[in-house]
Structure 1
Amino acid sequence: MKAAAKRIGLEIVGWLLVVAGIAALILPGPGLLMIAGGLIILSQQYEWAERRVEPIKREALKGAAKSVETWPRIVATSTMIALIAAAGVLWFMGPDTPGWWPLSDSLWLPGGKATGISQFLSALIALVLLVWSFRRYHGKPEAIAEVVAAAAADDDREGFWGQ
């Protein structure tokens, strides 16, 4: 009974991470990282998930390496992180609808405090990932080349989705 409950719990967490990761590819958040985490959990149960972990992990690492290649990218990423955090604080504070707002008051900062908290947490995660990427890849062309070469070799060998 415990094994079945554990399996169901892990499967739910894995699928939630995959779905949230797909959403975070469009919304603010570490999409590929969440997808990879979900697939790692699901790979304990499913062979198809195990085949997809490495390609997604390589793509996530390639993105991390490219994000800190140049100072303009680092500044742009830092600026976006600051804007997402500021939006999170604004949503959390929930100021009254300004007079210039042309739409219904119900459309001003929808989602309330929960949205603010999730935006702020996304900014915090992005900041941690930026610092990690900077320490691991910035000014280290050999580390970047290794990640890019591994991703290219994987693409040549079996395609992005491991087919």
Structure 2
Amino acid sequence: MVYRRHATRGALMVVGGVVLLAGLALLVLPGPGMLLVLSGLLILSRAIPSVERFVEPVRLRAVQAAEESVTSWWRLTGSVLTGVTLIGAGVLWIVETRLPFSGWSTGLGLVLSGLILFALLVWSHRRVRARRAARTGPRNPPEN
């Protein structure tokens, strides 16, 4: 029973760390880096409770950054390419045994990071669209 708790905590730390590192990389690359940083911190806070104090300030900045990440086509394209690269690298790390730290755990972490990136992009895009629709009103107003 104790081993399972330690294994779960270790897995949360590894997955949270991978997501956090991917988010930090995306802070300098095009993509919603702050959202991945937030996701990584949320996962890590389940394993390390003291990390929770960083969540709210990052959450506020992440929402702002998420909206910015889908406002132009080149940022959106860069984010999609980054997600595809993460998933491709994850598959490569699972299949190729000669790579450093190769194996299913590293590969799965990368694939999961890519999938999280795509989920966050969809969420960001819907949020921005909803805000624009709220500001401009309905696209086709009913005729009198």
TM (norm. structure 2) is 0.60
Q: How many residues align?
A: 118
1:1-163 matches, within 5 Å, as: 16=13, 20=17, 22-26=20-24, 30-36=36-42, 38=44, 49=52, 52-94=54-96, 108-114=98-104, 115-138=106-129, 140-141=131-132
> SS of 2:103's equivalent?
helix
Judge conservation of contact 1:94–1:112 (CA < 8 Å) in 2: yes
Deviations along 1:90-131, one digit per CA (max 9) or x if unpaired, are 121117xxxxxxxxxxxx411122321111111111111111
> SS of 1:109's equivalent?
coil
Aligned CA distance change for structure 1 residues 38 and 84 (closer, same or farther; 3 Å): closer
Tell me the distance in 2 between the aligned counterparts of 1:24 and 1:77.
12
TM (norm. structure 1) is 0.54
Deviations along 1:68-97, one digit per CA (max 9) or x if unpaired, are 1111100110011111111111121117xx
Question: Which of the two has higher C-alpha Rg?
Answer: 1
1:135 to partner: Cα distance = 0.9
Structure 1 residue runs of 5 or longer lacking an equivalent are 96-107, 144-163
Judge conservation of contact 2:13–2:43 (CA < 8 Å) in 1: no
Q: Percent identity?
A: 28
Tell me the distance in 2 between the aligned counterparts of 1:22 and 1:142.
32
RMSD: 3.7
The structure 1 segments of at least 4 consecutive aligned residues displaced by more than 6 Å after TM superposition are 40-43
Structure 2 residue runs of 5 or longer lacking an equivalent are 27-32, 135-144
Which protein has the bigger helix share?
2
Letter in 2 for 1:60: A
Work out which structure has the larger RCO, using CA pairs closer than 8 Å and 6 or more positions apart in sequence: 1
